[in-house]
Amino acid sequence: MLLALYSCALFLVLVVGLPYWLLRMLLSGKYREGLSQRLGRVPQRLRPRPGQARNPTIWVHAVSVGEVLAAGSLIQELGLRAPELRVLVSTTTRTGQATARERLGEERVFYFPLDFAWILRRYLTALRPALLVLVETEFWPRLLVQCGRSGIPVVVVNGRISDRSFHRYLRLRFLWKRILRNLTLVLAQSERDVTRLRAIGVPPERVSYGGNLKFDVRAVENAAVTGALRAHLPKGARVLVCGSTMEGEEEILIDAFREIAKVNRKLVMILAPRRPERFDRVAEMLRKRNQRHVRRSRWMSHPAKLKPGTVVLLDSIGELASLYSLASLAFVGGSLAPGVGGHNPLEPAQFGIPIVMGPHYENFRDIVDRLIQAEALKIAHRETLIPMLSMLLHDEELAALLGVRAMEVFDSQAGATARAASAILRLLGEKSGTENTEADRSPGRSSGSSAATREPDSQPKGAR
């Protein structure tokens, strides 16, 4: 009954929002791409070919770019340990889809379907996953229940519950408890997340500390744009990289840069808005302020020496992590104003770069708290941002010390990927052993039967 109400509510939301979605499709095409996949059309390339039919399939769902990067390391680890596995990856956002296709190959990537039973059944029947892996907290009720009914184990890696989400989950714990019992294993980012996941209804024995996969994600330092900028920076330049910035932050950062550049005559800023649809708006903002700037997309076609006081607008996806390697100082965005929750400070930390963030970092609370405790990151409010950036750009010794400590924190927390891969393979082994035992006792089934060849909608022994 509750699931039926949920499905009706989801349908009503889609119907009421239809004019908005149609307008966005017409104006930007943002939701047009992958629409048929979201509505249940399973791409033919995802269906197992005859030679693949006996290899277990793992379906990994990663919402956007950050989750895709974390999942990429896990997928690579699984491929090294169990090359026979067939791993498919779904994403929700267009940027996540582009990153996944570039890094993992288009043949295994697709858009996550809408959370309706009839759509999910089509995907589960076509893909025949032996196991579903959710990166972070993608708790879609119909998906979890459908996997439970089909006997498909569900593993959550990098599990976390933000401050804001925690209270929402708690208010509806009586509902979530029934849904979250379909989770087989949850590997949480921190001990705080372990406690919260148990509090919202995940069976306590199924939750354990796994660490943060993002500590194992290392950027490719020699990306093309990174090498080009390194060769064309002013001699002795100091570089301020402002990454993953959100609406309302760019104005503050541009004004801060202009002020600091009056004293620091060799300063260059790399400005990287979080969302691609805002690239043009930020470019217009720079133009209206008469701020000298270049757009990465145009500059890379004819690279030229950059002048001090220039802002490089990074209007591309997937290159920011690499560009942090050029930084004298990094500001990690989404943290100056409430509501966003900050972005990932590990990207500059891996290069030993001193980091500044705003006070709103609840999405990465555990990571930021670790960095703060290690005296490896500084928090600045809007009114203290200019003095903080100026001080760290001037005091190179203190900045270098912050960077060294940040790298030490990054290195000390590695290992979550290996733990997650071991847990997944152990589950697959247990599932395969159980099914083979069932097959030995069941007439008409061969002993080679596996999760990859079983119809997902069947009800194996013990399935809810």
Q: Domain map of the chain by residue range?
A: 33-41+54-211+416-431, 224-412
Q: Assign domain 33-41+54-211+416-431 to a CATH class.
A: alpha beta
Q: What is the largest CA-CA distance in the chain?
A: 82
- Predicted local confidence at residue 54, as pLDDT: 73
- Token duo for residue 434: 């159980």
Is 67 a residue of the active site? yes
Q: Note if the pTM is more than 0.85.
A: no
Catalytic pick among 33, 67, 284, 430: 67
Quote the pLDDT of residue 339. Answer: 86
| pLDDT at 430 exceeding the cut of 60 | yes
Q: Which two tokens stand for residue 433?
A: 């052993």
pLDDT digits (tens, 9 = 90+) for 346-371: 999 999 999 999 999 998 998 999 99
pLDDT of residue 22: 67
Q: Is the dihedral of CA 391, 393, 397, 403 positive or negative?
A: positive
Q: Which residue has the higher pLDDT, 182 or 16?
A: 182
Q: What is the pLDDT of residues 107-139, one digit of tens each?
A: 999 999 999 999 999 999 999 999 999 999 889
Cβ pair 257, 267 in contact under 8 A = yes
Residue 443 predicted with pLDDT over 50: no
CATH of domain 224-412: 3.40.50.2000
Higher pLDDT, 9 or 380: 380
